[in-house]
């Protein structure tokens, strides 16, 4: 990397609070942003109950909005209307990535005129979200998406069969509280798929065209943590050290993708997720080893002396723990990992061969694909998906 010519910016939330038990401070810290809160929770009502009680004891008036599935355009529109009607002074996201994305979207749209479609990319007007939203507080209860620190929010539009993003430098929450205790009760299948989402969000930014020294540092530490802890967290969920490591890896993955972009794996995962009802993390995991393999081959063929190939080589020791491991060993490690932790193939998730051309057509123009370390042809993108079926 030529530092003399290097320019970059690095976006983070206003504050990040990490550590076991840190959620106990959430009520008093959230109260500092106002008294009336719209609280967006995930599918479970029992897990956030204790924190909701703390919020109310602290003097917050809480209106609860449940996001039991991935957030849709209609659900966010309803949330914005509710926040405005109630005069909400802040929005709290408490749950997995879906609840947090919904909270972030509602918070920023509440201070912007018009409809959510005016600001969506691809299917909407793409207008700029150019002013701060309501203060948002993000408290993840899973360890995977890292959306508590990102500057985008992914929304589904079932009528279009796609997932698209709102993007803005004003989207990162004012406060992110990451408490590993909140994700320690995840079952193995959920641990596996959200953990693979975090892993993919560390690998793709590390080899991305937009990588920079700060994102590199974040990725290297996040990869070290995820590589050593993910399988343990899946198979021995009571291992608190592994749980803490994965919570940290997920947080770091969010910082990485927010500042260095992603790649073709996410470029494919987005369209697939819009076409089938399957968890995003499972889709990414199924694509990961094949996406790495095709990228590596393309780099060797068309950019053999480039920086990206050196970065793939660095993944070998980082992921395997073997200082002599190669880039091919990194690909093999990823393949063995997703098999070991029970990630299903795309066909088992509902993707069919007939859907592949549409997936590839949409992936070619996806924003994530633009940061891939090398331009992959439609044939190469097709190969990734078909080998993952």
Residue 163's pLDDT band, with cuts at 50, 70 and 90, is: confident
How many helices (H) and strands (E) the chain has is answered by 15, 8
Q: Which CATH number fits domain 188-388: 1.20.1090.10, 3.40.50.300, 1.10.8.870, 2.40.10.10?
A: 1.20.1090.10
Q: What is the mean pLDDT of residues 127-133?
A: 94
Specify whether domain 15-183 bears CATH 3.40.50.1970.
yes
Note whether 193 and 279 are within 8 A (CB).
Answer: yes
What letters, b where the CB count within 10 A reaches 16 and e where it falls short, cover 235-259? Answer: eebeeeebbbbbbbbbbbbbbbbbb
Parallel, antiparallel or unpaired: strands 36-41 and 61-66: parallel
Burial of 304 per CB tally in 10 Å (0-12, 13-18, 19+): exposed
Q: What percent of the chain has a predicted confidence (pLDDT) above 70?
A: 98
Would you state the pLDDT for residue 45? 66
Pairwise CA distance, residues 26 & 21, whole Å? 10
Residue 121's pLDDT band, with cuts at 50, 70 and 90, is: confident
Note whether 382 and 360 are within 8 A (CB).
Answer: yes
- Angle in degrees, CA 376, 379, 385, rounded to 5: 90
What are the structure tokens assigned to 9, written together? 């910016």
Helix, strand or coil, per DSSP, at residue 313: helix
CB neighbourhood size of 339 (10 A): 10
The domain spans of the chain are 15-183, 188-388
CA atoms within 13 A on the CB side of 93: 39
Q: What is the mean pLDDT of residues 158-175?
A: 89
Q: What is the mean pLDDT of residues 238-256?
A: 97
pLDDT exceeds 50 at position 43: yes
Note whether 234 and 243 are within 8 A (CB).
Answer: no
pTM of the model: 0.94
What count of residues does the chain have?
389
Would you state the pLDDT for residue 1? 47
pLDDT exceeds 80 at position 210: yes
Pairwise CA distance, residues 230 & 207, whole Å? 21
Would you state the pLDDT for residue 161? 80
Cα-flanking dihedrals φ and ψ of residue 358, to 5°? Answer: -65, -40
Note whether 149 and 139 are within 8 A (CB).
Answer: no
Helix, strand or coil, per DSSP, at residue 66: strand
pLDDT per residue as tens digits for the range 317-355: 999 999 999 999 999 999 999 999 999 999 999 999 999
């Amino acid at each position: 990397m030529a530092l003399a010519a290097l320019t970059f910016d690095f976006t983070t939330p206003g504050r990040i609070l990490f550590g076991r038990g840190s959620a106990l401070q959430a009520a008093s810290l959230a109260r500092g942003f106002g008294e009336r809160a719209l609280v967006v929770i995930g599918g479970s009502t029992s897990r956030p109950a204790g924190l909701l009680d703390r919020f109310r004891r602290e003097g917050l008036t809480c209106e609860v909005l449940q996001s039991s599935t991935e957030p849709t355009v209609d659900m966010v529109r309803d949330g914005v209307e509710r926040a405005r009607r109630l005069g909400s002074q802040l929005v709290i996201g408490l749950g997995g990535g879906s609840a947090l994305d919904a909270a972030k979207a509602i918070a920023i749209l509440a201070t912007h005129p018009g409809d959510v479609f005016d600001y969506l990319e691809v299917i909407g007007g793409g207008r700029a979200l150019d002013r701060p939203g309501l203060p948002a507080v993000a408290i993840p209860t899973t360890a995977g998406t890292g959306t508590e620190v990102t500057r985008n929010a992914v929304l589904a539009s079932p009528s279009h069969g796609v997932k698209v993003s709102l993007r803005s430098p004003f989207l990162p929450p004012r406060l992110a509280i990451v408490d590993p205790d909140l994700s320690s009760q995840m079952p193995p299948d959920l641990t596996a798929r959200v953990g693979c989402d975090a892993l993919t969000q560390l690998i793709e930014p590390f080899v991305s065209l937009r990588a920079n020294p700060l994102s590199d540092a974040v990725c290297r530490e996040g990869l070290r943590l995820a590589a050593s802890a993910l399988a343990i967290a899946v198979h021995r969920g009571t291992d608190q050290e592994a749980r803490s490591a994965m919570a940290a890896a997920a947080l770091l993955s969010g910082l990485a993708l927010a500042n260095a972009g992603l790649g073709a794996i996410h470029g494919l995962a987005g369209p697939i997720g819009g076409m089938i009802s399957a968890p995003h993390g499972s889709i990414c995991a199924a694509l990961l080893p094949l996406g790495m393999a095709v990228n590596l081959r393309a780099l060797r063929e068309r950019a053999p002396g480039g920086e990206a190939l050196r970065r793939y080589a660095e993944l070998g020791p980082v992921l395997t723990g073997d200082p002599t491991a190669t880039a091919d060993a990194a690909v093999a490690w990823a393949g063995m990992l997703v098999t070991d932790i029970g990630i299903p193939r795309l066909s088992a998730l509902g993707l069919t061969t007939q859907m592949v051309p549409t997936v590839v057509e949409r992936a070619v123009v996806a924003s994530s694909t633009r940061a891939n370390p090398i331009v992959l042809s439609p044939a190469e993108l097709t190969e990734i998906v078909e080998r993952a079926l």
